[in-house]
Chains A and B, each alone.
Chain A
Amino acid sequence: MTLRVFLMILTVAMIMGSAALFIRRILTIYHVMQKARPVNRTDRLGERIKSVLVQVGLHRRMFRISFSGLLHYFIFSGFIILLIDVVETLGEIFFPGFTVGPILAPLVDIWVILVAVGILMALYNRLVIKPERFHGSDEKDAFLILGLIGAIIVGIVIHDSFFPFVAPEVLHVADPVARAHFLGYAVSRLWVVLGWTGPTAASIGYAFGYLLDMGVVFAFLAYLPYSKHLHIFAAVPNIFWRNLEPAGQLVPKPIEDTMAIRTFEDLTWKDVADLYTCTECGRCQAVCPAHAAGQPLSPKMIILQLRDALNDRLADKNPNAEYPDLAGGVIAPEELWACTTCGACQEVCPVFIEHVPKIAGLRSALLEDGIVDPNAQKVLMSWDRQGNSFGQPGRKRPLWAKGIEVPIKDARKEPVDWLWFVGDFASYDPRVQHLTQLIAKMLTQAGVDFGILYESEVNSGNDALRIGEYGLFESLAQKNIDALSKAQYRRIFTTDPHSLNALKNEYPKFGFQAPVMHYTEAFLELIDQGRLVVSPVPIRVTYHDPCYLGRWNGITEAPRQLMARCGVHLVEMPRHGAQSFCCGAGGGRIWMDETGIADRPANQRIREALALPDIQFFTVACPKDVSMFSASVTAMGVEEKVRVVDIAEILAVAIGLQAESSLALMTV
């Protein structure tokens, strides 16, 4: 009886203590979330539940790294099985005679083994494999937690092994599941040999195992919300609250005042939840092009630095304490400006943390304080004054259309079927203009009735927004929307993924609605309608998915199918589709200083392509990519090995508009 009373009193004390600590912490975080900006993340219930089932139940994103995915699955499922053990163990003491039955009981033992395997795998991962992605994470905490989990499973086996003796002799009840707990039963044989089966020895042994199990469980509960393992509770709601709006939409609603993030109240409540959900797994860091380039940015550290700063402020009792600015203090300007807004971090994060909106908001704060790269500043001013990033007069925008044989309609003056939003690079960059002309000829060959906005088009504002310049984005958007609203057209067509993203995902908040198609989708349609007749171009290529086409807009199939229709043999790079690796140009990076870049992302990408067997062509579907990768190929001196071609050039050969010799490699 004394054993029961002793354990009951201790258990009640532990439950109350750990629950109090747990609740206090959760309430503190809840208060921060309450004061943060609103955002609607509780709509579309069905979709949300489904995504929780897929991402938690099936560990969809976790399994992208199979070893870690598997070890986590073992440990994660262990937590569910742990519930059976907790119910059983508490039941044994509080309601003598309680049992979970012969089916659930052995499950506990099976999972003890799986969890043990998981822990060993985790140790192997952290001590032997040592993935770079853990760099900067709190590894001590990780080991502590693994140790605690280890203690729990050891405790489980120990109390199960003594229970067959404690049950009849001390508690005076039967233990019908003694053998079902096969691990505990096996160990109990040892006690028989040692003669530790008497009431005193068994009681001591049982109490030890019970406390190792329950004690650590409740200590864990109290400690969790103060550590990265809060994700055990936070992951499910955070995945539930994930963004279901179009991924490419950075700002959901028109902003009245500013998008700058200066305090934690400028974050949305979901942003705050993100901070406490981060598991420090570093998957985002491992895919970040800026990090890979040797720049000081790690998306993981952005989250952790913000979280730590928030924790410091929460722990500080002094209401007048002064804290460093979030942008520029907690997070250095170099980190923030290094981001290409490629979105690889968000795509890979297993708990659906959204890094890019935070980075953009923090950038906006820097910008308001005038902390911005001088070249980027020049570009912002050119957008404001001339409407393009080239600092060229707006009048010169349609100059590429002069001197080609095909007529190009002025969509401001006459109705057209397709309105072509050309974009800055395709219009002004002399390295890209010939492609723009090629597209015009192909549209003409297909008999498409198309036109452009001539000098009424201005930059779409996609990059301005991602630099954090909301006001400029809005004024550019308004100019385009005005021009578009005066034109008559059925659909918008563009070669530029950045413009596509703005028109498709950022303009609707101003009431703009129109079907927008990327040229790869549009030309695929023309081929399938028989309006363009292709003959095969038997070349071996690899294809680079532009971030703003593939990842942010999910257009990964059209370019591949278009190439397949042209008879091209495509060999995929390891990183492709939504997992593509950024060229380094996005988010305004293309105009910023490159100091600190040890290894350009575009060069890394070309090396990735060169590692494939017999690839002669690196195909792209974005005007900026043509510039970026051609520059890399030249800088690396590999012109005779690989050539950067736009898919449009292949199509031009396939439809007989250009000779196949136009695709020859450079000969040195």
Chain B
Amino acid sequence: MKIAVLIKDVPDLVEELELTEEGRLAVDDMSFVPSEWDDQALEEALILKEGDAGSTVTAVAIDTGDVDNMLFTALAKGADRGVKLVGDFNREMSNRARAEVLAHYCHTEGFDLILTGVQAIDDLDGQIAGLVAGRLGAAHASVVRDVALGSTSVTCIQEYSGGKMAELRLTVPAVLGIQAAQKTPRYVTVSKVRQMQKSASLEEIEGESSEAPALEIRRLYPPVASSHAEMWGDDVEELADRIVNLLEEKKLLRS
């Protein structure tokens, strides 16, 4: 099957996020890492490819700045093609706008299966898979794992709360929002990525964007603490009493 994986990078949360005076993320000072769910989607795609000799994997990213390394990493891990959709894009692009660009490209390529991370730390609405599927008129499922290829369909598992699971079958073309790959995303060595940078090249394709309704961020701000922790000191006897009292007060003690 012809598989595409839609990937993007997100702020590295190891670093503390900072806001500019205008209440925007200080994007210029931040470092970016591949979104971990997209990494899972890529791993799932590579596993599928390994299990099916005829399949190819294309890693696709919108050029919102500095995505080359991420794409070369995907190539080093085993993707066949790395595609960078270039245009007037930046990191504040909304998911609606992203989905437009991605769907345009996917349409021209005619992929059978499109995987992407179910969500990202900077977008918790998990819309990319659904929006792209909608634009393509393709089948869609999200929050899925354990994808398996059929001849003209794919199956996957969707997990519900309360311990229920469903096995889904989708006729291709299909778009899946991957929750987790079948195994931890593989490690790729620094020299392998470097060799890729020397020996392979990325396909730069003009990204087509169409108008998409957008949300406006009015304000970004750190959460305001509603109350503060109270320090109870270090007297063991007193501490024990207070803990017992608290548990009783909250009705957490059973007699």
- Mask, B76-112, CB within 8 Å of A = 1, is 0100000000000000000000000000000000000
A385 near B184: Cβ-Cβ < 8 Å: no
Establish whether residues B190 and A377, one from each chain, have CB atoms under 8 Å apart when the complex forms.
no
* C-alpha gap A393/B33 in the complex (Å): 13
CB contact under 8 A between A471 and B191, given known A377-B184, A386-B14:
yes
A367-B33 contact given A385-B14, A392-B14, A471-B194, CB 8 Å threshold: no
Q: Scan A225-268; emit 1 where CB is below 8 A from any B CB, else 0.
A: 00000000000000000000000000000000110000000000
Give the residues in chain B near A470, CB-CB below 8 Å: 189, 191
The listed residue (A257, A372, A395, A471) touching B190 by CB distance below 8 A is A471
- Asked if A280 lies at the interface with its beta carbon under 8 angstroms from chain B, I say no
Evaluate contact between B189 and A469: CB separation under 8 angstroms: yes
> Which residues of B have CB within 8 Å of A474?
190-191
Q: CB within 8 A of B187: which of A380, A391, A475?
A: A380
With A393-B14, A393-B16 already in contact, the answer to whether A367 and B190 are too (CB < 8 A) is no
- Give chain A residues whose Cβ lies under 8 Å from the Cβ of B190: 384, 469, 471-472, 474-475
Chain B residues near A469 (CB-CB < 8 A): 189-190
Contact of A385 with B188 in the complex, beta carbons under 8 Å: no
Q: A386-B14, A393-B14 are in contact. Are A368 and B189 (CB under 8 A)?
A: yes
Let me know if B12 and A368 touch, CB within 8 A: no
Provide the residues of chain A in CB contact with B188, threshold 8 Å: 370
Give every chain A residue within 8 A of B33 (Cβ-Cβ). Answer: 385
CB pairs A–B below 8 angstroms (23 shown) = A257-B191, A258-B191, A364-B189, A368-B192, A377-B184, A377-B187, A380-B187, A381-B187, A384-B190, A385-B12, A385-B33, A391-B14, A393-B14, A393-B15, A393-B16, A395-B15, A469-B190, A470-B189, A471-B189, A471-B191, A471-B193, A474-B191, A475-B190
Q: Smallest distance from the beta carbon of B121 to chain A beta carbons, Å?
A: 15
CB nearest neighbor in B for A376? B187
Interface string of A359-393 (1 = CB under 8 A from B): 00000100110101010010011101110000111
* Residues 296 to 328 of chain A near chain B (Cβ within 8 Å): none
Are B31 and A385 neighbours in the complex by a CB distance under 8 Å?
Answer: yes
Nearest chain A residue, comparing its CB with the CB of B12: A385
Answer whether residue B24 sits at the interface, using C-beta atoms and an 8 A cutoff: no
Measured between beta carbons, the chain A residues less than 8 angstroms from B135 are none
Interface string of B186-202 (1 = CB under 8 A from A): 11111111110000000
B-contact 0/1 string along A167-195, CB 8 Å cutoff: 00000000000000000000000000000
**How many residues of chain B have a CB within 8 Å of chain A?**
18
The minimal Cβ–Cβ distance linking B67 to chain A, given in whole angstroms, is: 16
Q: Once bound together, how far apart are the Cα atoms of A381 and B186, in whole Å? A: 11
The answer for the CA separation of A385 and B14 in the assembled complex, in Å, is 10
Nearest-Cβ distance from residue A397 to partner chain B, whole angstroms: 13
Task: Count how many chain A residues have C-beta atoms less than 8 Å from C-beta atoms of the other chain.
Answer: 25
Q: Which residues of A contact B189 (CB under 8 A)?
A: 364, 367-368, 469-472
From residue B215, how far is it (CB to closest CB) to chain A in Å? 30
* B72: min CB distance to chain A, Å: 13
- Which of B12, B187, B194, B195 is the one whose CB lies under 8 Å from A370? B187
Chain B hits for A384, CB < 8 A: 190
Q: Which residue of A lies closest to B16 (CB)?
A: A393
Q: Which residue of B lies closest to A383 (CB)?
A: B190
User: How many contacts between A and B, using CB within 8 angstroms?
Assistant: 46
> With the chains together, A392 CA to B187 CA distance in Å?
20
Shortest distance from the beta carbon of B128 to any chain A beta carbon, whole Å: 24
Across-interface contacts of B191 in A (CB, < 8 A): 257-258, 470-471, 474
Q: With both chains docked as a complex, state the minimum distance between the C-beta of A481 and any C-beta of chain B, in angstroms.
A: 16
- Tell me, in angstroms, the Cα distance from A374 to B185 when the chains sit together: 9
Residues B14-61 near A (CB distance < 8 A): 14-16, 31, 33
Q: For the complex formed, measure the closest distance between the CB of B196 and the CB atoms of chain A, giving whole angstroms.
A: 11
**Distance, CA A382 to CA B12, complexed state (A):** 11
Closest to B186 in A: A370
Q: Which residues of B contact A393 (CB under 8 A)?
A: 14-16
A261 to chain B, nearest CB (A): 14
- Bound together, the chains give a CA A386 to CA B189 distance in angstroms of 16
User: Assuming the A-B contacts A385-B12, A393-B16, are A372 and B192 also in contact, with contact meaning beta carbons closer than 8 angstroms in the complex?
Assistant: no
Whether A372 touches B187, Cβ cut-off 8 Å, given contacts A385-B33, A471-B192, A471-B194, is: yes
The residues of A that contact B186 with a CB separation of less than 8 Å are 370
Seed contacts A372-B187, A393-B14, A395-B15; 10 additional CB < 8 Å A-B pairs: A257-B191, A257-B195, A380-B187, A382-B14, A385-B31, A391-B14, A470-B189, A471-B189, A471-B190, A471-B191
**Docked pose: A368 CA to B195 CA in angstroms:** 12
- CB closest residue in chain B, given A475: B190
| Interface bits A556-583 vs B (CB < 8 Å: 1, else 0) | 0000000000000000000000000000
Closest 10 CB pairs of A and B: A471-B191, A471-B190, A370-B186, A472-B190, A377-B187, A393-B15, A370-B187, A372-B187, A374-B184, A471-B189
Residues of A within 8 Å of B192, CB to CB, are: 368, 471
Question: Considering residues B12, B15, B192, which has the most beta carbons from chain A within 10 angstroms of its beta carbon?
Answer: B15
* B188 smallest CB distance to A (angstroms): 7
Cα–Cα, bound, A382→B187 (Å): 12
Contact with B along A388-425 (1 / 0, CB 8 A): 00011101000000000000000000000000000000
Chain A residues positioned under 8 Å from B187 (CB to CB): 367, 370, 372, 377, 380-381
Closest to B46 in A: A370
B38 to chain A, nearest CB (A): 15
Residue of A with least CB distance to B192: A368
A106–B169 alpha-carbon span in the complex (Å): 90
Smallest Cβ-Cβ distance to B77: which chain A residue: A370
- Min Cβ gap B171→A in Å is 32
Residue of B nearest to A464 (CB): B190
Which residues from chain B contact A368 at a C-beta distance below 8 Å? 189, 192
User: Shortest beta-carbon distance, B206 to chain A, in Å?
Assistant: 31
Chain B residues, Cβ within 8 Å of A257: 191, 195
Closest Cβ neighbor of A390 among chain B residues: B14
* Chain A residues within an 8 Å CB radius of B15: 393, 395
**Which residue of chain A is the closest to B31 with respect to CB atoms?**
A385
Docked Cα-Cα span, A391 to B191, in Å, equals 21
**Residue among A382, A385, A474, A475 facing the most chain B CB atoms (10 A cut-off):** A385
